[in-house]
A and B are shown apart, each in its own frame.
Chain A
Amino acid sequence: MRELLEIIRAEYMFVYGDIIRRKSAFISLLAYPYMLTVFILGIGYGLGGLNTFTEKTGADPLLFYISGSYMMLSIMAVSDDLLWRPDFDHWMGTLPYVLLSPVKRVYRYVAIPLPRLTLVVLLGSTSIVPVFILLHGVSGLVESLAIIAMTIAASLSFIPVSLLIMGLLYRSTGENWRVLNIVRPLIMILLGVYYPRYMMPWVARLITYLIPSSSIIEAVQRLLTSLELDSYSWMLIGLATALTLIYLPIGVRSIVKWEGKLRAAGVKTE
């Protein structure tokens, strides 16, 4: 446990040191939730108007998309941090020294996305809490806090999925960044944030049931429509928890196998 806490602490120092000193990254992190919401609402308003959306989904478009952007950014923070880290370490030349760490891999890979996730969750909450309070009063505060908690759960449940993708990807291809540029939008679609999964074709819908975060996102969408967490929503959260627990050891194994493949070919040290 001490080892895990030390690694988490080190990751916070590393990520915040890096982000704060990269001005453009810091500014984009601050501006992203607002930009994304305005962009999507703008497109939606241009296409059919806000009332059409409410008629079709039963949810307030502003709350739906502001929550959606918040969830998407939080989950993508996890996935980006994990999926890009080996390449980043490779470019920095730190990969051999990182691999030489005897610390348990599960600790390290759970710790990696936490600092950026914390930042995105905290910054993003400043964009959703005021809007919910403005539209729904005190109950809006409770709803927004529930959404924040579920967003954290959805993001954390994406760690094992990211590990799984990372292990497979880095084991099978040498041009990871090219594949990642395809994988990223696919993840965005299959999460069902902007295009709810009940509206997807059945094959895509089936795949989304294998992604724990998609189930939590559906529970959030049901909360936005009916303003309560019904038994089906709790079932979705249970499914997501079970899948996370199943995927975590598989994800870590996938990473260990990738490291094994790297060692067989030789870790680049120049």
Chain B
Amino acid sequence: MRDYSIVAEGLVKRYVTRQRKGLFKSTPQVIEALRGVSFKVRRGEVVGLLGPNGAGKTTTVKILATLLIPDEGDAWINGFHVVKDVDDVRRGIGVVFSVEKGFYAKLTGRENLRYFAALYGLSSSEAEKRVEELLRLLELDKLGASDRLFEEYSLGMKARLGLARALLRDPPVLILDEPTLGLDPPSARKIRSLVREMAGNGKTILYTTHNMFEAELVCDKILLIDKGRIIAEGTPGKLKEKVAGKRTIVAHVRGDKMLVSRTIEGLEVEKVSVEESEEGLTVRLLTRSPEEVAGILLRELVARGVEVYTLRIEEPTLEDVFIYFTSGVGHEGTT
């Protein structure tokens, strides 16, 4: 336990929602958000919790941040239990949840940080010094944002301010829940480089995302989570070994999703993902015989009237690893 900053053992969380049947009747419905999540994070490690929407990422980080009590299981941060030693856990963590909100609109960035510094137990002299340091570190002063009202901030500035608040107490553990969600590429790049910089300074970071590319860039180790369970874990390289000897066919097509899915059903492939977007459908197939399958796929799609814009064969990425471990077809949230 001493080598680990974060330990989770058999976390289970069930939410009870009500299924409405008319105005007065409703029946309870139990949703199992976590079904026995266990993992360990070593000191100074950046670990990515990777999974689609609804996989259980946020539920897990809420439990670790003491904002949610698990129904079963235990978790420790810096050796403190997340249910029994709440204040000790809170003193040792910095948290970023939603990037868009989370600050007082009519206060400036500096004032917001000063307010939270007091709330987190810093004296005014400590707070003043720390806030100035963080405004410099996150380059908010360079952007002229320190004395601007939060309501006038761009999303990138908001993300930086969120990170600054998480660092106020200089905590050994950071829990970042999708800190780059919705950011433009330069801002996302800046946040990622800051996270790597903090990891270099010895911080333990738990980083949730559903962006495979980002997870590969930022994290030392990845935990794949799906339907409330950790389905695989390892370094990005090690996870990719799981799909060694296979290659990925990526096709961008326009046509009926059901028709495309039916076309794929007859092919000799191991895993499939069909994703819908405004531009059309993106089909990813993991297979041992890519050239042969690509030829058949193209022929079949064209024969059924599906417009094929691009079709290429790639080395598998982390995204394919994710598809390999999950059900794949029509999976939402894989990007």
Contact = CB atoms under 8 A, between A and B. Distances in A.
Contact of B124 (A9, A14, A99, A263): A9
A175 to B, nearest CB: 15
B119 A22 contact: no
B118 A267 contact: no
Contacts of B119: 7, 10, 97-98, 101, 103, 108
Interface in A79-126: 92-94, 96-103, 108
Given A100-B90, A101-B90, A102-B87, A93 B121 contact: no
A13 B111 contact: yes
A21 B106 CA distance: 7
A19 B173 CA distance: 35
Interface residues of B, number: 41
B171 to A, nearest CB: 11
A260 to B, nearest CB: 8
Contacts of A108: 119
Contact of B103 (A6, A94, A96, A101): A94
Contact of B95 (A21, A97, A103): A97
B15 interface: yes
Contacts of B59: 266
Interface stretch (B61-69, B183-191, B198-206, B314-322): B61-69
Contacts of A92: 101-105
B107 A18 contact: yes
B308 interface: no
Contacts of B107: 14, 17-18
B58 to A, nearest CB: 7
Nearest to B116: A97
A230 interface: no
A269 B62 contact: yes
A10 B165 contact: no
A56 interface: no
Given A93-B102, A97-B116, A269-B62, A17 B97 contact: no
A96 B68 contact: no
Contacts of A6: 118, 121-124, 127
A234 B45 CA distance: 64
A9 B102 contact: no
A2 interface: yes
A14 B69 CA distance: 30
Give the dominant DSSP class at A's interface.
Answer: helix
Contact of B69 (A2, A99, A264): A264
A108 to B, nearest CB: 7
A55 interface: no
B177 interface: yes
Interface residues of A, number: 30
A3 B121 contact: yes
Contact of B114 (A2, A10, A21, A22): A10
Given A2-B123, A264-B69, A14 B104 contact: yes
B312 interface: no
A264 B91 CA distance: 21
A9 to B, nearest CB: 6
B150 to A, nearest CB: 9
Interface string B69-104: 100000000000000000100110101011011111
Contacts of B67: 96, 99-100, 263, 266-267, 269
B165 A97 contact: yes
B213 interface: no
A17 B124 contact: no
Nearest to A264: B69
Given A13-B111, A96-B67, A263-B69, A103 B121 contact: yes
A143 to B, nearest CB: 38
B120 interface: yes
A123 B46 CA distance: 53
B102 to A, nearest CB: 4
A119 to B, nearest CB: 16
27 contacts: A2-B123, A6-B118, A6-B124, A6-B127, A10-B119, A14-B115, A17-B104, A17-B106, A18-B106, A21-B106, A94-B101, A94-B103, A96-B67, A96-B102, A97-B165, A100-B67, A100-B93, A100-B95, A101-B121, A103-B119, A263-B68, A263-B69, A264-B69, A266-B59, A267-B67, A267-B68, A269-B58
Interface of B: 15, 58-59, 62, 65-69, 87, 90-91, 93, 95, 97-98, 100-108, 111, 114-124, 127, 149, 165, 177
Given A6-B121, A6-B127, A102-B121, 5 more contacts: A17-B104, A18-B106, A93-B101, A97-B95, A263-B67
